[in-house]
C-alpha cells in the first residue's frame, strides 16, 4: 500500500511537469512568431499588415518587427534623425515609403539596399544637405522621388533613369548639371521653384534642357532667378537668349565625352559698366555649337557640290568626245558607202558595153 502511494505521487508529478511544459510552450509561441506576423505597437496595420501607418507617433527610429510582406510604410510627422545601413531590410517588398516631415539629416549610402520594388520615396521636409551618389543606385524601380523642402545644393546622385516625378522645390540649388538632367529619360513632372537660381552662363544648360523637356509635354512649375540682382524674380524660360550673348559655347553644353565644360565667370573684362547680365571670361572665345555646325555643313555641302560639278563636267566632256567620234565615224561610213556605190556603177556600165562591142565586131 505504501508503494502504491509513492507510485501515485510520482505519476502526479510527471503529469504536472508535462502540463507546465505545455503551458510554457503555449505562452512563448506567440512571442516566437511575433517578429514576422505582429504589427509594431507604435503603428496601426491593416488586417494583412501590408499597409503600416506610423504617422505622428513621435518615433526616433524605424519601428522593429515589421511584417516582411509590408508594401506601404508611412513614417511622416515623426522625429527620425537618420537612416542607417539597410534600415529597411525587414521589408524588401515595400513599394511606398514616406519619411516626410522628420528631422533626417544623414542617410547611409546603403540605407535603401535591398528595396528592389520601391516605387515611391518621399524625403520632403527634412534637414538633408546632401545625398550620397550611391544611395538611389540599388532602387531601379523608383518612379516618384520627392526631395523638396530640404537644404540640398549639389547633385542628387544616380539611379534616376526611371524616375517620372521629381520634386526639388525649396532647396538651395543655384544650378543643375546638365549631365544629371540628361539621365532623366522618363521624367514627366518636375518641380524647381523656391531655389536660389543664379541665372548666369552656367545655367544655359538648364535653360536648353528645359526647352526640350517642355516641348515634349513635360510639366514644370517655374525657375525664378535669385542672382544676379538685375535678374532677380525673372523666369528663366522668359529670359531671351540675347542676354546671354557673352556666354560662349552655351556654358553647360554636353560634349560627346559626356562631360560638361562650364564657362568661367568673370567681371566682364573691365568694361560695359554693369550690364544686364554678368559677362563670361573674355579669354575663352569658343564658337557657339550651332555656328560650328553651320560652318561644317557649309564645308561639307561645298565639297559635295564640287564633286558633283566635276562629275558633270567629266560627263559633258565624255559626251562631246563620244559625239564627235560618232559623227566622224558616220561621215567616213557614208563616204565609203558612196565610194562603193560609185565603183559598183562603173562595173555595171562596163559589163553592159562589153556584149555590145562583141556584137559590132
- The 10s digit of each residue's pLDDT in 57-107 is 999 999 988 889 999 999 999 999 999 999 999 999 999 999 999 999 999
Collect contacts of 134-139 with beta carbons under 8 A, ≥24 apart: 134/109, 134/110, 134/158, 135/107, 135/109, 135/111, 135/159, 136/112, 136/160, 138/112, 138/113, 138/114, 139/112, 139/115
d(CA 44, CA 75) in angstroms, rounded, equals: 11
**Total residues found in the chain within this entry:** 361
pLDDT at 46: 86
Task: Specify the 3-state DSSP secondary structure of 197.
Answer: strand
Q: What number of other Cβ atoms are within 10 A of residue 44's Cβ? A: 13
Q: Which three cell numbers stand for residue 126?
A: 527634412
CB 127 within 8 A of CB 149: no
**Three-state DSSP class for 220?**
strand
Tens place of pLDDT per residue across the chain (361 aa): 444 555 555 655 665 666 656 555 455 554 444 444 578 888 999 877 799 999 999 999 999 888 899 999 999 999 999 999 999 999 999 999 999 999 999 999 999 999 999 999 999 999 999 999 889 988 989 999 999 999 998 777 777 888 999 999 999 999 888 888 888 889 999 999 999 999 888 888 888 899 999 999 999 988 999 988 888 888 888 888 766 666 654 444 433 334 444 433 333 333 333 344 444 433 344 444 456 667 888 889 889 899 998 898 888 888 888 888 888 888 888 888 888 887 777 676 666 666 656 666 5
Q: What's the confidence (pLDDT) of residue 283? A: 38
| Global confidence as pTM | 0.60
Contact 105, 83 (CB under 8 A): no
pLDDT at 290: 55
Rounded Cα distance between 279 and 264, Å, is: 9
Q: CA 361 → CA 265, 348, 356, distances in Å? A: 126, 21, 9
Amino acid at each position: 500500500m505504501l508503494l502504491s502511494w509513492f507510485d501515485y505521487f510520482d505519476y502526479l508529478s510527471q503529469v504536472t511537469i508535462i502540463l507546465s511544459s505545455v503551458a510554457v510552450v503555449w505562452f512563448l509561441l506567440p512571442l516566437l512568431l511575433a517578429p514576422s506576423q505582429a504589427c509594431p505597437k507604435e503603428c496601426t496595420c491593416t488586417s494583412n499588415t501590408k499597409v503600416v501607418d506610423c504617422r505622428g507617433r513621435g518615433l526616433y527610429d524605424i519601428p522593429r518587427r515589421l511584417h516582411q510582406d509590408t508594401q506601404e510604410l508611412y513614417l511622416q510627422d515623426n522625429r527620425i534623425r537618420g537612416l542607417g545601413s539597410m534600415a529597411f531590410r525587414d521589408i524588401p517588398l515595400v513599394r511606398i515609403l514616406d519619411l516626410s516631415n522628420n528631422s533626417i539629416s544623414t542617410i547611409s549610402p546603403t540605407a535603401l539596399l535591398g528595396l528592389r520594388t520601391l516605387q515611391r520615396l518621399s524625403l520632403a521636409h527634412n534637414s538633408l544637405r546632401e545625398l550620397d551618389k550611391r544611395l538611389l543606385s540599388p532602387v531601379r524601380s523608383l518612379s516618384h522621388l520627392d526631395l523638396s523642402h530640404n537644404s540640398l545644393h549639389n547633385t542628387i546622385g544616380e539611379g534616376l533613369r526611371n524616375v517620372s516625378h521629381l520634386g526639388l522645390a525649396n532647396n538651395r540649388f543655384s544650378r543643375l548639371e546638365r549631365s544629371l538632367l540628361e539621365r532623366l529619360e522618363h521624367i514627366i513632372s518636375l518641380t524647381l521653384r523656391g531655389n536660389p537660381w543664379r541665372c548666369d552662363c552656367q545655367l544655359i544648360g538648364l535653360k536648353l534642357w528645359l526647352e526640350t523637356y517642355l516641348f515634349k509635354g513635360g510639366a514644370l512649375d517655374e525657375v525664378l532667378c535669385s542672382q544676379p540682382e538685375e535678374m532677380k524674380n525673372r523666369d528663366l524660360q522668359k529670359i531671351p537668349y540675347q542676354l546671354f550673348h557673352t556666354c560662349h559655347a552655351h556654358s553647360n553644353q554636353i560634349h560627346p565625352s559626356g562631360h560638361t565644360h562650364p564657362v568661367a565667370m568673370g567681371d566682364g573684362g573691365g568694361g560695359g559698366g554693369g550690364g544686364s547680365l554678368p559677362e563670361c571670361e573674355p579669354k575663352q572665345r569658343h564658337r557657339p555649337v550651332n555656328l560650328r555646325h553651320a560652318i561644317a555643313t557649309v564645308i561639307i555641302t561645298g565639297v559635295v557640290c564640287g564633286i558633283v560639278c566635276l562629275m558633270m563636267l567629266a560627263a559633258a566632256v565624255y559626251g562631246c568626245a563620244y559625239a564627235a567620234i560618232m559623227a566622224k565615224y558616220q561621215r567616213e561610213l557614208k563616204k565609203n558607202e558612196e565610194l562603193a556605190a560609185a565603183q559598183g556603177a562603173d562595173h555595171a556600165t562596163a559589163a553592159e558595153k562589153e556584149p555590145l562591142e562583141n556584137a559590132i565586131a
